[in-house]
Structure 1
Amino acid sequence: MNINATLILQAIVFAILVWFTMRFIWPPITTALDERARKIAEGLAAADKAKADLAAADRRVEEELARVRNEAASMRADAERRAQAIVDEAKARATEEGNRIIAAAQADAEQQAVRAREVLRAQVAALAVKGAEQILRREVNASVHADLLDRLKSEL
């Protein structure tokens, strides 16, 4: 065969191959490449959106944490104030109760002293009567001399 005919035949086969490739093979490859590029672009856009959402969520979390810290500090301050008020109130009640107990004890002591004085007066009066009996060597009737004995008790 002739070299020119071979070159022409090869050029025709090459032209058919180029036509076949452009007609049947190249469009699906182009479509696949375009689809892949679109998916990559969507993925990058979604990543950017997710990054922006994450930043916004971080800001919201920081704001919420600051708010919660402030509320916690406020609650702690309120609790400390209430605790101090309760302690002060308990001290006041304890002081009041102590004063009341002291007053009751003083009143009781006074009553016991008055009773002791009365008993002592009665005993002194009885001893005085007994002493007078012995001095006079006769019996003194307490009912007859009740007025005298009452004056004696009040003087003691």
Structure 2
Amino acid sequence: MSLNATLFAQLVVFFILAWFTMKFVWPPITKALDERASKIADGLAAADRAKTELASANKRVEEQLASVRDENARRLADAEKRALAIVEDAKKRATEEGSKIVAAAKSEAEQQLVQARESLREQVAALAVKGAEQILKREVNAGVHADLLSRLKTEL
């Protein structure tokens, strides 16, 4: 075989191999590569969508957290206001109750004072009458009168 025939045979075999490769081998490989490229592109697109959805979800969560914090702060402020109102109301009621107790004690003390004065008046009157009876029963004697008066003073 000459160089030309070998070269020609190699050239024919090469073209047959190239045709066979282009017809039967290359299409499945390109199809697999295209499918893989589309899967990668779909995956990247899904990742981008997931990233935007995650950002959106994070934003919603932050908004909800902010609203919950505001609600909690408002409730806490309301609770503090109610607590202060309850304390003030209790102070007011305690002051009123104390005033009533003081007024009742003053009234009772005044009544007891009036009763004590009345009792003292009755006792003084009884003693005066008793002293006068004793003075009038006895003879008029300065020494005896002085003795009776001193006893009357001690009884008062």
TM-score by structure 2 length? 0.79
Aligned partner of 1:70 in structure 2 is: 70
Q: Which amino acid aligns with 2:28?
A: P
Aligned partner of 1:53 in structure 2 is: 53
Structure 2: distance between partners of 1:24 and 1:121:
141
Displacement of 1:41 in angstroms is 0.8
Give 3-state SS (helix, strand or coil) of 2:102's partner.
Answer: helix
Aligned partner of 2:19 in structure 1 is: 19
- Structural mapping, 1:95-114, within 5 Å: 95-114=95-114
Q: Which amino acid aligns with 1:16?
A: I
Structure 2: distance between partners of 1:129 and 1:109:
29
Q: Which amino acid aligns with 2:59?
A: R
Displacement of 1:115 in angstroms is 1.9
Aligned-pair Cα RMSD in Å: 1.8
- Structural mapping, 1:116-131, within 5 Å: 116-131=116-131
Instruction: For structure 2, list consecutive stretches of 5 or more residues without a partner in the other structure.
Output: 139-156
Structure 2: distance between partners of 1:10 and 1:77:
94
Q: Which amino acid aligns with 1:124?
A: V
Instruction: For structure 1, list consecutive stretches of 5 or more residues without a partner in the other structure.
Output: 139-156
Q: Which amino acid aligns with 1:20?
A: F
Structure 1: distance between partners of 2:48 and 2:105:
83
Structure 1: distance between partners of 2:77 and 2:20:
84
Structure 1: distance between partners of 2:32 and 2:108:
108
Aligned partner of 1:80 in structure 2 is: 80
Displacement of 1:50 in angstroms is 0.9
Query: CA offsets, 1:30-83, max 9 Å, x none?
Result: 111011011011111101111111221122123223322332332233223222
Once the two structures are overlaid, the 10-residue window that deviates more, 53-62 or 31-40, is: 53-62
Structure 2: distance between partners of 1:11 and 1:71:
84
Aligned partner of 2:28 in structure 1 is: 28
Q: Which amino acid aligns with 1:134?
A: Q
Aligned partner of 2:151 in structure 1 is: none
* Runs of at least 4 residues off by over 3 Å: none
